[in-house]
Amino acid sequence: MKTALHSFPEELNEKANSRIPSFEIHLMHTYRYLDSPGEQPISLNYQNGTVFVSTGLLNIPNRIRWEVKDRFTNPVDQKQYILSVIAENVEREDKTGMDERIRVSITPSEQEDATGLIEGVPGQISGRFHGVSYSLNINDFWQDKVAKRNTTDDKTVWNHYPEGAVYSLSQDEVFFGEVLTGQVLVNILGRKGFGGKRWAVYLDSKLTEESKGRLVSLLLSYHLIETMTRYAEDCDYKNPENTRDACPGVLVVRL
């Protein structure tokens, strides 16, 4: 009996193995950027900020506001940026209810004005950088699974596939690439294991360095939107010890 680990869901394996990604981002204990397969990964010097929960004087559940400021170094222009995130529920214009809104502003650390603004929810975000619009939309998602296969010499292979998804990328409403997500494969005590999230970006045409840097910011913003959504939905900020796995490492509650 043999065990085989795969970096992407079974439905994406053929697509991922038949193409070379334009670049990758690995979200492990350290966040890393790979410009092309085989090259040395570059650290994004990602720093997680303190997560603040603002409850307001009345402590109304659907008015809770989550905020954080993370920092990273964009590997394309080598500049440090601040990702400022606000997750909150806002009232609809027609007064019929509340909608969740998460916004990420991207600001060079030496400036005051944001150079990019991302807004959306997990599965669908849009952003603008100096008048150029980008969007990232999920097309399909697969749960992790184990599949039994028999080889031609009658041996059994247990294939382990991680959860993952495929997203479409658009610039100014024109499709220009895909993003596949899965897991990074690492060696753990001499054995292969899953080590963190893997983003593989496949582009239809060559991008300028400026556009590639914007995509790095877009993907990190999306990951942060997913993270903040999980905190808001699953973390009991009043008693974080009850939901420790769903809460940030540093959490401050304020009025």
Residue 98 has pLDDT above 70, yes or no: no
What is the percent of the chain where pLDDT is above 70?
93
Nearest-5° angle of CA 101, CA 106, CA 110? 145
Over the stretch 195-218, which tens digit does the pLDDT of each residue have? 999 999 999 888 889 999 999 999
- Quickly state the pLDDT bin for 60 (edges 50, 70, 90): low
CB atoms within 10 A of CB 198: 24
CB atoms within 10 A of CB 209: 9
- Quickly state the pLDDT bin for 38 (edges 50, 70, 90): confident
What pLDDT sits at residue 191? 86
Residue 62 has pLDDT above 70, yes or no: no
- Quickly state the pLDDT bin for 165 (edges 50, 70, 90): very high
Non-local CB neighbours of 60 within 8 Å, separated by 6+ positions: none
Mean pLDDT of the chain: 90
φ and ψ of 57, to 5 deg: -65, -35
Among the ranges given (20-24, 34-38, 82-86), the one the predictor scored with the smallest mean pLDDT: 34-38
Q: Provide the token pair at 11.
A: 């439905």
CB atoms within 10 A of CB 216: 21
Nearest-5° angle of CA 172, CA 174, CA 180? 110
